[in-house]
């Protein structure tokens, strides 16, 4: 019989949200008067903190300054090279309030990595701190029509085109702030999607606001809907990733919570923050949860105040969860371990465990968030599958990106004409519509929650004159999740050691992309008839070499 594509389409059990025309900044600070004198964002290391009223004022002044002093126009792109500091929120919302489009980079990227991203989306201004000024200056030289650098924590040096954030805000420029259209793109984070090099993901105000509403449902998060409580949230995942930015920063600012964040993770500082701020909620990635459960310095007293832990961005194993519960000696009712699943391309959250969910669903990433549809599609015949059969997960909802920046072909491959986002993840669901992620068909490697594109590493290794062919795959690792491993084919007279390949990559790419999974030499890379690398075969091979 012909496959019926209409059956086995699942809807969210939590109903619908109203999609509105607010800008992201207006939505995030909609209730700011209610908690104007409460702390918004505190740096867990320096203690520097702004209350909500101050934060909101700085954002508007920053927006005016960007227009008046740097002559930036609505639609221009601005690049952020900033760790998790309170000023991150000032700059990103200031830029969005000014109608600019933000792209953010990991500050630990090499200049090459940043140049590729910032020139790809034509960045016209960069904001950074002293530590990353040299790299920002180098990157800015590669950018056309560059308007200037905003220096967080520094002073003006107009001869060099440098604008100190403090004086930009203090000057209180009076610029007409544009009316923001909710369908405009405001953020372009980078993701490699299902294949190839990192690409700009175009997210609109509507995408990001919708996703905040989609998870702010009382059954999903304990506090969803109960705004302005004195919740203290401790968080490490970077704001320069969509999970950190929308899932953590905007989500908690919307609710008036006190966010304590760290620009750099060390066990000592993290424990100090647990003791000093007594957070009720922790936002983590699996490797951080593993740290809490296994590190000898962490005691159950440190975790006394913690009631909720939100974990996402990569698969979490049962053993990580169990070790954590053992460490804090609490029951699953005393500390809620919530999981979320998502992608940069979906703003990011699409699946979430409810706050109170039946035990026995360990390992599930939850149910479809509000206004989201899902289907699991057979890898062999494209049918939408019934419960307990694994296939590719497709998602549809208002949080799905507008498309990839300047890349229609990749957009068409990822979001089909009916609006379904093809995730490249292999999943199944049970009778109660809880989803489980079991594998990936896409090439993506996840190292401690960070995206690593095999294509990017492969293209670097191919620059070595001795190399004839190469393939990079992710090898399982109990702490990092996965680690990249390279299989290299040398040219007939080419000679290289494993260390030479490792070092070459290490020079050009940031640390989490280094070949910690190893380097192995092969006579040939296994490819299928179409020339596609057979990555699963390499993963099996990788275990034995
Ligand atoms: P990107 N379990 C397994 N794999 C996951 C999970 C999870 N809970 N979350 C993300 N992934 C993988 O764009 C999956 O392969 O966004 C997915 O396609 O960097 C890919 O990571 C997307 O990687 C949250 C917290 C979503 C985090 C996120 C993840 C954003 C990561 C919702 O509440």
67-114 residue pLDDT tens: 999 999 999 999 999 999 999 999 999 999 999 999 999 999 999 999
Q: For 5-34, how does the pLDDT look when each residue is reduced to its tens digit (9 = 90+)?
A: 557 999 999 999 999 999 999 999 999 999
Give the single-character DSSP code of 496.
Answer: -
- pLDDT score for 1: 45
Q: Which residues of 489-528 are buried (b: 16+ CB within 10 A; e: fewer)?
A: ebeeeeebeeeebbebbbebbbebbbbbbbbbebeebeee
pTM for the model? 0.96
- Expressed in angstroms and rounded, the spacing between residue 491 Cα and the centre of ligand 1 is 38
Q: Tell me, rounded to whole angstroms, the distance of Cα 497 from its chain centroid.
A: 35
Q: Is the CB of 441 under 6 A from ligand 1?
A: no
Q: Is the CB of 343 under 6 A from ligand 1?
A: yes
What's residue 4's pLDDT?
A: 47
Instruction: State mean pLDDT over 533-541.
Output: 93
- Measured in Å, residue 449 CA sits from the centre of ligand 1 at 8
3-state secondary structure of 278: coil
Q: Write the pLDDT tens digit of every residue in 108-144.
A: 999 999 999 999 999 999 999 999 999 999 999 999 9
Compute, in angstroms, the gap from residue 342 CA to the centroid of ligand 1.
4
Asked which of 325-329, 368-372, 423-427, 462-466 is least confident by mean pLDDT, the reply is 325-329
- Tell me if 239 sits within 8 A of 251, measured CB to CB: no
Rounded Cα distance, 262 and 240, in Å: 13
Please check the confidence at residue 447 and state whether its pLDDT lies above 80: yes
**Cβ neighbours for 420, distance < 8 A, ≥ 6 positions apart:** 375, 394, 395, 396
Give whichever of 126-130, 307-311, 313-317 has the largest mean pLDDT. Answer: 126-130
Report which of 509, 468, 523, 513 is spatially closest to residue 114, judged by C-alpha positions.
Answer: 509
CA distance 13 to 249: 26
Share of the chain above pLDDT 90, in %: 86
Q: Residue 348 C-alpha to ligand 1 middle, in angstroms?
A: 8
Q: How confident is the model at residue 363 (pLDDT cuts 50, 70, 90)?
A: confident
Q: For residues 242 and 348, is the Cβ–Cβ distance under 8 A? A: yes
Q: SS in 3 state form for 134-151?
A: HHHHHHHHCCCCCCEEEE
Question: What is the distance between the alpha carbons of residues 342 and 77, in angstroms, rounded to a whole number?
Answer: 25
DSSP structure class, residue 243: I
* Mean pLDDT for the chain overall: 94
The C-alpha angle 538, 318, 238, rounded to 5 degrees, equals 75
DSSP letter string, 24-63: HHHHHTTTGGGGTTSEEEEETTT--EEEHHHHHHHHHHHH
Q: Which atom of ligand 1 is nearest to the CA of 191?
A: 13
Bridge partners, residue 120, by sequence: none
From atom 17 of ligand 1, which residue's Cα is the shortest distance away? Answer: 343
- φ, ψ of residue 46 to 5 degrees: the values are -90, -20
In a 3-state reduction of DSSP, which class is residue 391?
strand
Q: How far is the CA of 273 from the centre of ligand 1 (A)?
A: 26
- Report the relative pairing of strands 162-164 and 258-261 from DSSP bridges: unpaired
Secondary element (H or E) of residue 484: strand 481-490
- Residue 224: pLDDT above 70? no
Per-residue pLDDT band at 402 (split at 50, 70, 90): very high
Rounded Cα distance, 140 and 545, in Å: 43
First-to-final CA distance of the chain: 46
Q: Which atom of ligand 1 is nearest to the CA of 352?
A: 33
Cα–ligand 1 centroid distance for 103 (angstroms): 19
Tens-digit pLDDT profile for residues 280-297: 999 998 989 999 999 999
* Ligand 1 touching residue 425 (CB < 6 A): yes
């Amino acid at each position: 019989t012909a496959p019926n594509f209409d059956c086995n389409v699942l809807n969210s059990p939590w109903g619908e949200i109203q999609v509105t025309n607010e800008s992201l900044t207006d939505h995030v600070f909609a209730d700011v008067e209610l908690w104007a004198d409460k702390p918004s964002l505190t740096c867990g290391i320096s203690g520097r903190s702004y209350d909500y009223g101050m934060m909101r004022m700085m954002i508007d002044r920053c927006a005016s300054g960007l227009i008046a002093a740097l002559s930036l126009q609505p639609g221009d792109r601005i690049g952020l090279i900033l760790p998790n500091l309170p000023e991150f929120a000032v700059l990103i919302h200031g830029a969005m309030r000014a109608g600019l489009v933000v792209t953010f980079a990991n500050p630990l990227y090499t200049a090459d990595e940043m140049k590729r991203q910032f020139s790809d989306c034509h960045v016209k201004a960069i904001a950074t701190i002293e530590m990353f000024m040299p790299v920002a200056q180098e990157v800015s030289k590669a950018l056309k029509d560059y308007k200037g650098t905003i220096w967080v924590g520094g002073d003006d040096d107009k001869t060099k085109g440098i604008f100190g954030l403090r004086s930009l805000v203090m000057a209180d420029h009076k610029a007409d702030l544009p009316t923001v259209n909710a369908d405009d793109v405001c953020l372009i984070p980078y993701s490699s999607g299902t294949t190839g090099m990192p690409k700009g993901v175009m997210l609109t105000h509507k995408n990001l606001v919708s996703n905040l509403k989609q998870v702010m449902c009382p059954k999903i998060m304990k506090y969803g809907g109960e705004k302005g409580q004195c919740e203290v949230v401790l968080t490490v995942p970077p704001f320069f990733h969509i999970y950190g930015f929308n899932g953590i920063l905007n989500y908690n600012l919307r609710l008036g919570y006190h966010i304590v964040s760290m620009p750099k993770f060390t066990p000592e500082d993290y424990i100090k923050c647990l003791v000093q701020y007594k957070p009720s909620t922790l936002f983590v990635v699996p490797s951080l949860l593993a740290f809490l459960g296994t590190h000898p310095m962490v005691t159950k007293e440190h975790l006394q105040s913690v009631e909720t832990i939100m974990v996402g961005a990569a698969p979490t194993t049962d053993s990580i969860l169990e070790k954590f519960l053992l460490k804090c000696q609490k029951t699953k009712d005393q500390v809620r371990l919530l999981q979320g699943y998502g992608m940069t391309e979906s703003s990011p959250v699409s699946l979430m465990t409810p706050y109170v969910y039946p035990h026995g669903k360990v390992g599930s990433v939850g149910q479809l968030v509000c206004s989201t549809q899902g289907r699991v599609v057979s890898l062999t015949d494209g049918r939408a599958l019934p419960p307990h059969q694994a296939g590719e997960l497709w998602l549809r909802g208002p949080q799905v990106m507008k498309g990839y920046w300047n890349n229609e072909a990749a957009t068409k491959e990822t979001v089909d004409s009916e609006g379904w986002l093809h995730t490249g993840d292999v999943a199944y669901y049970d009778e109660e519509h809880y989803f489980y992620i079991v594998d990936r068909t896409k090439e993506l490697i996840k190292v401690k929650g960070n995206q690593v594109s095999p294509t990017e590493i492969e293209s670097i290794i191919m620059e070595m004159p001795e190399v004839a062919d190469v393939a990079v795959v992710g090898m399982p690792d109990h702490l990092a999740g996965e680690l990249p491993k390279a299989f290299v084919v040398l040219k007939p007279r080419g000679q290289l050691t494993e260390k030479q390949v490792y070092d070459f990559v290490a020079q050009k790419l940031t640390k989490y992309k280094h070949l910690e999974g190893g380097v192995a030499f092969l006579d040939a890379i296994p490819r299928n008839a179409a020339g596609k690398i057979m990555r699963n075969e390499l993963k099996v091979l990788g275990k034995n070499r």
